[in-house]
Amino acid sequence: MTRRSRFAGAAALLSIIAIPMLPQAASALERSPRPELRPVELGPGGAPEVARQAVYVLPGRSLRPAARPDALLHRTRAAAPETAPETEAPMPVSNRQAPFEAWLADFRGRARAAGISQAVLDRALHGLRYDASVVERDRNQAEFTRTLWDYLDTAVSDTRIANGRAALRDHGAVLERIEARYGVEKEVVTAIWGLESAYGAFRGETKVIEAMATLAFDGRRGAFFEQQLVAALKILQAGDTTPERMTGSWAGAMGHTQFMPTSYLEHAQDFTGDGRRDIWGGDPADALASAAAYLAHHGWEKGQPWGVEVRVPEGFDYSLSDREITKLPSDWAALGVVDMAGRPVPDHGQASVLLPAGSQGAAFLIFDNFAVLERYNTADAYVIAVGHLSDRLAGGPPIRGGWPHGDRALTYDERKEMQRRLTAAGFDTRGIDGKVGPLTIAAVRAWQTAQGLTPDGYASPALLDRLR
């Protein structure tokens, strides 16, 4: 498969990310900074505009491994979509227990047809309560925007680095065996662990069966969550855990590395050899092996970096900073793109130039492993955080390029306004949806070129002001 086909439709990352506000930890532990993403309508077969930022993607599907439809990633993958079009209006969140129980009675028949035994259904579904709190969270995910550099301050903080190095020491033997078996560096696996659950400190306490049943009944994402519920019941039937121990996030992500039930069925590993694939317990070995297996399945290349921070020369043609434009690092070096020490980046494979904050911010050469990490979470900010944290755990330096600290993230309404104004000026974004993806970035670049500006595709507040 060519790198062009793997990255079809992709574009440079913008420096904004929609995440929830997290409480500040009072101890050395830090909560997972994993982006919690807002839902969006995704058309079957692939939408023309997919945001290169953590905004407006289905919760429970983009936050951690899940068998995602091609529409989300613009990648080719033999997997059935996990969602169906929404045809029902959300139900009121009060007084729903009686109809919920009626739904459960009907669901039992569908679950039995899917191969779930009566004994498992009786144990797992007995006494379930409609959980209004998960419905409220699903419906009311407020948009909080942070710049990439603010997000990285949390995701790759000194505390998270120190805790990650401690985790590498404490679990070094297991992580080295995982690396040897799956071919994924121990620092990468540990970085995912750190961002997903703060090295196991925040694995989620929501009862997954109850939450998935509630969200499947609710009707808003019924087909998706019913699929997750059936998968969770299959996990119980296999004897990997019990309903009481099957806890996770409100959207169904479970364990140290926050697997959705469907991804668990596909990729979870029994690394300890005890006959169970236990990603929930105190021993993280199975969960860490599962994360490594997931990356290996999607093509992780050991020894290849996710990306390398680089310097671009004065007068660089910023139109080349496009995910579809790839060259060997030696060819980029001939154009003046070198590492932070002024040396050519080794030829690890085809690479593209990524400018997360346009010409005023840090620059990276990114390789195929960047796309593999995107399989875990489609937010490029998350990928940069995992990659950079893994580099720091391996002894690498901080990001040395600057960031436009005076900038703030555009709000959803401002992104739509930017698209409207670009389209009205003759630079069609092919839709007004608030998602800044490859088509919008191309329109930004074309407008910047027409205005005699640096065509870096960076959608900033200053750009919106000029459009106004």
Question: What residues make up the domain containing 186?
Answer: 1-302
pLDDT at 92: 57
Q: Is residue 365 part of a domain?
A: no
Query: What pLDDT digit, counting tens, does each position of 283-303 carry?
Result: 999 999 999 999 999 999 999
**Mean pLDDT confidence for 309-318:** 96
SS3 316: coil
pLDDT for 140 equals: 80
Cβ neighbour number for residue 42 with a 10 Å cutoff: 21
Residues 163, 17 share a domain: yes
Domain end, chosen from 260, 275, 302, is at 302
Residue 447 lies in a domain: yes
pLDDT of 465 above 80: yes
In this prediction, residue 31 has a pLDDT band, given cuts at 50, 70 and 90, of: low
Rounded Cα gap, residues 137 and 132, in angstroms: 9
- Do 115 and 237 reside in the same domain of the chain? yes
What mean pLDDT is predicted for residues 210-217?
Answer: 97
- Which of 280, 302, 324 marks a domain boundary? 302
Q: Which of 302, 324, 345 is the last residue of a domain?
A: 302
pLDDT band per the 50, 70, 90 thresholds, residue 91: low
Return the residue matching tokens 């500006």.
453
Closest to 53 (Cα-Cα) out of 90, 13, 88: 13
Q: Residue 379: which pLDDT band, with cuts at 50, 70 and 90? A: confident
CA angle 267, 272, 277 (to 5 degrees): 40
Find the length of the chain: 468
Counting beta carbons within 10 angstroms of the beta carbon of residue 216, is it exposed (0 to 12), middle (13 to 18) or buried (19 or more)? buried
More confident residue, 449 or 82: 449
Domains held by the chain: number = 2
- Mean pLDDT of all residues in the chain? 84
Confidence of residue 338 (pLDDT cuts 50, 70, 90): very high
Residue 33 has pLDDT above 60, yes or no: no
Position 314 in a domain: no
**Residues 283, 425: one domain?**
no
Is 87 within the bounds of a domain? yes
Residue 9 located in a structural domain: yes
209 part of a folded domain? yes
pLDDT at site 38 = 29
Of 448, 261, 262, residue with least CA distance to 358: 448
| Residue 72 covered by a domain | yes
Q: Do residues 423 and 278 share a domain?
A: no
Is a pLDDT exceeding 60 seen at residue 49? no
- pLDDT of 116-137, one tens digit each? 999 999 999 999 999 999 999 9
Q: Which residue has the higher pLDDT, 140 or 344?
A: 344
> Quick check: is 324 in a domain?
no
Average pLDDT over residues 307-331: 96
